[in-house]
Amino acid sequence: MLAALGALLCVCCSIEEGSAYTFRTFMGAEIAATAISSSAVVQRPCECRALCRDACVAVAIRRQPPRHFHCSFTDETVADATTNLTVPAPDSKVFYKRLVCLPGFTLVDNVGCIYVSTAALNFTAAAASCPSDSQLFTANFLIDFNAMRNYLKKTFVVPPNKFWIGLTRLGNSTTWKWFGGGTIEATHPSPYWNPRDPNENTDCAMLYFRPSTGFFYDVADTSCAGQMQFLCKQN
Ligand SMILES: *[C@@H]1O[C@H](CO)[C@@H](O)[C@H](O)[C@H]1NC(C)=O
Ligand SMILES: *[C@@H]1O[C@H](CO)[C@@H](O)[C@H](O)[C@H]1NC(C)=O
Ligand SMILES: *[C@@H]1O[C@H](CO)[C@@H](O)[C@H](O)[C@H]1NC(C)=O
């Protein structure tokens, strides 16, 4: 069984470069025992990485004398994986899987691959203009949202500035819906919304930067007909 697996894995190693993933590496770390979802013993370290597919978020590789390697996989999708999932282990390396970004996209840590448009369009046109295999930015967790804001604050520093994101009002309610599912409430205090928003009885949302009036790329509502740049996230 292991021999057959090994034969298959040799192929996996050679195609690894072309796979959808690259890995971010940490030396001297091991996945916390409570987070390990499965493990395997292989002959080459690249086989551990090749086996980290689908739900696998990270793999730790440790030499297993005399000439094998022990891989520990984790499926836990904690955003701050480096602090949550690793413990010091001098003889081990942890590889975190991350997407390879399509041309024109930038890898933003804890967010994914982001495309920032140069064109300024209304909301509908913007949503239809995200490059293929991407959609207007959505945040599945607060940590993604904060990472996106921090990236924008570091990268687009000239006010005023604003970008469409994939968030729209649900009917007439205080509930706002992310593209592809998930909602946030427009109630305060909010880690998403500017303290003064939503305030226009409009249905589309932007990240707005204007420090002089208290906007630091927080969410604000605005008319969907407005024209602005937009943020797309690779699926
Ligand atoms: C992950 O680590 C952070 C900071 O160390 C902590 O605040 C958070 O609760 C942890 N999350 C999980 C799911 O363990
Ligand atoms: C939505 O809310 C606005 C103002 O809050 C109100 O004028 C309008 O009638 C409401 N529309 C519906 C369909 O409830
Ligand atoms: C948005 O822009 C498109 C393309 O310019 C235009 O056809 C459409 O009418 C606009 N929609 C709104 C709501 O302004």
Ligand 2 center from residue 173 Cα (angstroms): 9
Residue 17 has pLDDT above 70, yes or no: no
Q: Where are the alpha helices (H) located in the chain, listed in sequence order?
A: 2-15, 45-51, 81-85, 123-129, 142-155
**Residues in the ligand 3 pocket, defined by CB under 6 Å:** 122, 124-125, 224-225
The per-residue pLDDT for range 61-107, each reduced to its tens digit, is 999 999 999 999 998 876 656 677 888 899 898 888 766 788 999 98
- Is the omega angle on the peptide bond into residue 211 within 30 degrees of 0, that is, cis? no
**Considering only CA atoms, which residue is closest to atom 4 of ligand 3?**
125
Element (H, E) at 134: strand 134-136
- pLDDT at position 21 is 58
Residue 1 has pLDDT above 50, yes or no: no
Rounded Cα distance between 215 and 31, Å, is 39
Distance (Å) of CA 44 to CA 30, 104, 216: 18, 34, 47
The per-residue pLDDT for range 103-152, each reduced to its tens digit, is 999 988 767 789 999 999 999 999 999 998 899 999 867 877 998 999 99
Please tell me if the CB atom of residue 132 comes closer than 6 angstroms to any atom of ligand 2: no
Let me know: does 212 contact 159? Beta carbons within 8 Å. Answer: yes
Torsion of CA 101, 52, 182, 79, to 10 degrees: -80
The per-residue pLDDT for range 176-233, each reduced to its tens digit, is 999 988 899 999 999 999 999 999 999 999 999 999 999 999 999 999 999 999 999 9
Rounded Cα distance between 156 and 82, Å, is 27
The per-residue pLDDT for range 24-45, each reduced to its tens digit, is 777 888 999 999 999 999 998 8
Handedness of CA 10, 12, 13, 15 (dihedral sign): positive
Ligand nearest to the CA of 174: 2
Ligand nearest to the CA of 228: 3
Ligand 3 center from residue 10 Cα (angstroms): 52
- What does pTM read for this prediction? 0.64
Ligand 2 center from residue 16 Cα (angstroms): 54
- pLDDT at position 22 is 59
Please tell me if the CB atom of residue 201 comes closer than 6 angstroms to any atom of ligand 2: yes
Task: Give the position, in ligand 3's atom list, of the atom nearest the Cα of 122.
Answer: 1
DSSP secondary structure letters along 18-67: GSSEEEEEEEEEEE-GGGEEEEEEESSHHHHHHH--TT--EEEEEEETTT
Task: Give the position, in ligand 2's atom list, of the atom nearest the Cα of 172.
Answer: 1
Ligand 1 center from residue 78 Cα (angstroms): 8
The stretch 13-17 carries a mean pLDDT of 41
Ligand nearest to the CA of 171: 2
